[in-house]
């Protein structure tokens, strides 16, 4: 009974937190974009525009619910739902902080401690393309279809390099459980120090997987109007846009978990904090890292122009894939020589 | 010859190895964008902060009254003739006995309209006016959704007696000099040419 209540609470909290962070990431993005372009960004709704995400959400709810009459009704509705669902699913295996002790019982801040955590992340991550593909196909619009095709081929191409860069991490850690990977990065033993190339490849692929700039070819306003969500309006469009921010949040969390020590920080263990306080500090550290990565995603978006499609494919297949393979081989040789 | 020292000669040379890495260029670009984060913002937060206008800004017109509160306009039609955009329309009328407090001249404008969508704010009406009745001010024509709202009648053009509109900012020394002998030297010079 306690177990069910604790898991349900944890799931609810994580769901709300990821939704809340995604909501305010939209504001952060607009503010950040504004500041990078010598403007202020939205500052009319509430103090510093803090109510802007609510206003945007409210606007989307009251927009006309439009559906093209040639669309496949079932798939058309399924698309955004699937995108949202898959975006939220990944958060289940991420260890959000060190375990909390309440009344002598230890509660880990992780919904499901799968022993194949990374595989789960990958499985769900590759399903992410379905939402976009189904939406683009069901819209019965050439631009949507183009966007959907681009999204699927882009995601498949970059998943390879992403998988290979993670394989190197798994080889080093000797485990595919996210809890183990975080535990082994205690102190300053962050994977990014031992796997800088792997991190770079993973990060570029994460940009491509979340369809963020400079890899936002599935949307690509200048060529495809809105890409896969051209025919969507109201809250269905809202789901697509919102899922992108959730994806960004989850990707940042995974990057922080795999390469930046999760909730660990050098010298924090030496302070001699009580377990519960350590859990709070760990969580704060983890979320700081996540937000830093979200900012990095945004920073890149407002710096780099979009790739041309052939450049995107060349980067994925001819540069990142061989580089990831080399990285994997080098890691293997290193581990072999070390004994 | 170049006008600025910022121009760069375009070349199609092959990238060096360092350049094909792209990463240095990307970091450089990211450094540039980040430096903008700390720069002064160019935004003017409009309703609270207003951009300072030049003193001689030509905006929304005003039909002046004289010191005793009588309308100066005598509906001569010179402004309408001078108007290159044909934005001004008026209907003149004779002043009735007992209306001396309202209109300064024996003839006055019963209807006076300026279409602000046609107006180009050149200020020729102000120059043409022999009675110093019409002036352009540093006020803005507010934006509207309907075209009808942009046709300003006397109700919005004539200044209220208790809320006079200051037009002195536009009356620079040069302008005053010009107005002094409006119907003598300038017009004669024009005729000579």
Per residue in B143-171, pLDDT (tens digit) is 899 888 999 999 989 988 888 888 878 77
Averaging pLDDT over each range in A108-117, A160-169, A173-182, which range is the top one?
Answer: A160-169
Answer yes or no: is A148 within a domain.
yes
How far B22 CA lies from chain A's nearest CA (Å)? 11
The mean pLDDT value for B129-133 works out to 84
If one counts every other C-beta atom within 10 angstroms of the C-beta of residue B110, the result is 12
pLDDT at residue A46, as a whole number: 80
Inter-chain CB pairs, A–B, below 8 Å:
33
Q: Do A299 and B26 touch (CB under 8 A)?
A: no
- Taking CB atoms and an 8 Å cutoff, what residues of chain A touch B24? none
Q: Percent of chain A scored above 70 by pLDDT? A: 100
Rounded to a whole number, what is the distance in Å from the CA of B59 to chain A's nearest CA? 27
CB contact under 8 Å between B36 and A300, yes or no, is no
Question: Per-residue confidence at B180, pLDDT binned at 50, 70, 90?
Answer: low
Euclidean distance between CA atoms A290 and A245, whole angstroms = 12
Tell me if A7 is assigned to some domain.
Answer: no
Query: For the segment A249-308, what is each residue's pLDDT rounded down to a tens digit?
Result: 888 988 888 888 778 777 776 777 777 787 888 888 888 989 999 999 989 988 888 888
**ipTM of this model?**
0.75
Q: Is residue A18 part of a domain?
A: no
Residue A39 within a domain: no
**Rounded mean pLDDT of A21-44?**
88
Closest C-alpha among A109, A157, A105 to residue A310: A157
Domain that holds residue A332: 64-98+114-338
Out of A44-53, B75-84, B165-174, give the one with best mean pLDDT: B75-84
In a domain, A46, yes or no: no
Mean pLDDT of all residues belonging to chain B = 83
Reduce the secondary structure of chain A to three states and give it as a string.
Answer: CHHHHHHHHHHHHHHHHHHHHHHHHHHHHHHHHHHHCCCCCCCCCCHHHCCHHHHHHHHHHHCCCCCCCCCCHHHHHHHHHHHHHHHHHHHHHCCCCCCEEECCEEECCCCCCCCCHHHHHHHHHHHHHHHHHHHHHHCCCHHHHHHHHHHHHHHHHHHHHHHHHHHHHHHHHCCCCHHHHHHHCCCCCCHHHHCHHHHHHHHHHHHHHCCCCCCCCCCCHHHHCCHHHCCCCHHHHHHHHHHHHHHHHHHHHHHHHHHCCCCCCCCCHHHCCCHHHHHHHHHHHHHHHHHHHHHHHHHHHCCCCCCCHHHHHHHHHHHHHHHHHHHHHHHHHHHHHHC
Q: Number of folded domains in chain A?
A: 1
In a domain, A6, yes or no: no
Q: What is the pLDDT of residues A206-246, one digit of tens each?
A: 888 888 878 887 777 777 877 788 888 888 888 888 888 88
| Alpha carbon distance A94, A117 (integer Å) | 8
The alpha-carbon gap from B47 to the nearest alpha carbon of chain A, in Å, equals: 11
In a domain, A10, yes or no: no
Contacts of residue B111, Cβ cutoff 8 Å, sequence gap at least 6:
B89, B90, B91, B153, B154
**Is residue A211 within 8 Å of A243, Cβ to Cβ?**
no
CA geometry: angle at A85 spanning A183 and A93, to 5°? 10
Is pLDDT at A197 greater than 60 in this prediction?
A: yes
Question: Would you say residue A240 lies in a domain?
Answer: yes
How many CA within 13 A on the CB side of residue A297? 33
Is A170 exposed, middle or buried (CB count within 10 Å of its CB: 0-12, 13-18, 19+)?
middle
pLDDT reading at B189 higher than 70? no
pLDDT score, position B192 = 44
With an 8 Å Cβ cutoff, is A43 touching chain B?
yes
Q: Do B45 and A40 touch (CB under 8 A)?
A: yes
Dist. CA A100–CA A107, nearest whole Å:
5
Residues of B in contact with A43 (CB under 8 A): 45
Give, as one character, the DSSP assignment of residue B112.
Answer: E
pLDDT of residue B183: 56
Residues B22, A291 contacting (CB under 8 angstroms) = no
Which chain B residue's Cα is nearest to A38? B41
- Residue A36 in contact with partner chain B when CB distance is under 8 A: yes
Per CATH, domain B61-192 is 3.40.50.620? no
Measure Cα distances from A324 to A117, A157, A190, A320 in Å.
21, 13, 19, 6
pLDDT of residue B191: 44
Q: Does B43 touch chain A (CB under 8 A)?
A: yes
Write down the mean pLDDT value for chain A: 85
Q: Is the pLDDT of residue B3 over 60?
A: yes
| Nearest one of B106, B59, B61, B66 to B79, comparing CA atoms | B61
Question: Looking at residue B193, what is its pLDDT?
Answer: 40
Distance from CA of A32 to the nearest CA of B (A): 8
Q: Please, which pLDDT band fits residue B118 given cuts at 50, 70 and 90?
A: very high
- CA B20 from centroid of its chain's CA atoms: 53
Q: How confident is the model at residue B69 (pLDDT cuts 50, 70, 90)?
A: confident
Q: What is the band of B72 on the pLDDT scale with cuts at 50, 70, 90?
A: confident
Provide mean pLDDT across the span A332-336. Answer: 89
Count Cα atoms within 13 angstroms, Cβ side, for A85: 10
pLDDT at B90: 92
Q: How many Cβ atoms are within 10 Å of A95's Cβ, its own excluded?
A: 25
pLDDT of residue A56: 86
pLDDT at A326: 92
Residue B129 has pLDDT above 60, yes or no: yes
């Amino acid at each position: 009974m306690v177990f069910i209540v604790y898991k349900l609470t944890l799931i609810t909290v994580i769901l709300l937190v990821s939704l809340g962070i995604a909501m305010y990431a939209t504001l952060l993005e607009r503010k950040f974009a504004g500041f990078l372009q010598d403007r202020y960004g939205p500052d009319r709704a509430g103090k510093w525009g803090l109510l802007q995400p609510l206003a945007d959400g409210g606007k989307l709810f009251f927009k006309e619910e439009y559906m093209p009459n040639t669309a496949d009704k079932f798939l058309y509705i399924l698309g955004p739902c699937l995108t949202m669902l898959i975006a939220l699913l990944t958060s289940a295996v991420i260890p959000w902080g060190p375990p909390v002790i309440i009344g002598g019982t230890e509660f880990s801040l992780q919904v499901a401690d799968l022993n194949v955590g990374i595989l789960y992340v990958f499985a769900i991550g590759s399903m992410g393309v379905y939402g976009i593909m189904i939406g683009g196909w069901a819209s019965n619009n050439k631009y949507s279809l183009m966007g959907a095709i681009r999204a699927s081929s882009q995601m498949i191409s970059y998943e390879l390099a992403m998988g290979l860069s993670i394989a190197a991490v798994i080889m080093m850690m000797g485990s595919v459980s996210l809890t183990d990977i975080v535990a082994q990065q205690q102190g300053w033993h962050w994977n990014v120090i031992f796997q800088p190339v792997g991190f770079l490849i993973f990060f570029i692929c994460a940009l491509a997987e979340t369809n963020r700039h400079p890899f936002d070819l599935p949307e690509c306003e200048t060529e495809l109007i809105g890409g896969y969500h051209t025919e969507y309006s109201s809250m269905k469009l809202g789901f697509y846009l919102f899922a992108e921010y959730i994806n960004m949040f989850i990707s940042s969390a995974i990057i922080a978990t795999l390469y930046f020590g999760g909730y660990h920080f050098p010298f924090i263990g030496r302070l001699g904090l009580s377990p519960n306080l350590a859990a709070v500090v760990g969580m704060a550290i983890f979320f700081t890292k996540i937000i830093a990565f979200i900012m990095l995603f945004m920073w890149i978006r407002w710096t780099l122009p979009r790739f041309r499609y052939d450049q995107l494919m060349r980067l994925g297949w001819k540069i990142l894939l061989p580089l990831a393979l080399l990285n994997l081989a080098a890691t293997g040789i290193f581990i072999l020589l070390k004994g | 010859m170049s006008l600025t020292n910022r121009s760069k000669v375009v070349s199609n040379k092959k990238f060096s190895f360092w350049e094909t890495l792209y990463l240095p260029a990307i970091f450089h670009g990211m450094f540039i964008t980040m430096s903008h984060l700390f720069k002064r913002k160019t935004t003017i937060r409009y309703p609270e902060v207003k951009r300072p206008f030049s003193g001689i800004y030509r905006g929304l017109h005003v039909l002046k009254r004289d010191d005793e509160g009588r309308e100066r306009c005598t509906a001569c039609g010179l402004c309408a003739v001078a108007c290159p955009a044909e934005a001004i329309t008026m209907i003149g009328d004779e002043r009735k006995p007992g209306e001396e407090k309202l209109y300064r001249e024996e003839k006055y404008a019963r209807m006076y309209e300026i279409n602000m969508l046609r107006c180009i704010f050149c200020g020729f009406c102000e120059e043409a006016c022999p009675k110093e009745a019409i002036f352009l001010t540093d006020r803005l024509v507010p934006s509207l959704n309907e075209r009808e709202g942009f046709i300003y009648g006397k109700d919005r053009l004539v200044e209220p007696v208790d809320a006079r509109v200051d037009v002195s900012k536009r009356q620079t020394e040069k302008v005053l000099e010009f107005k002094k002998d409006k119907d003598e030297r300038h017009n004669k010079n024009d005729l000579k040419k």
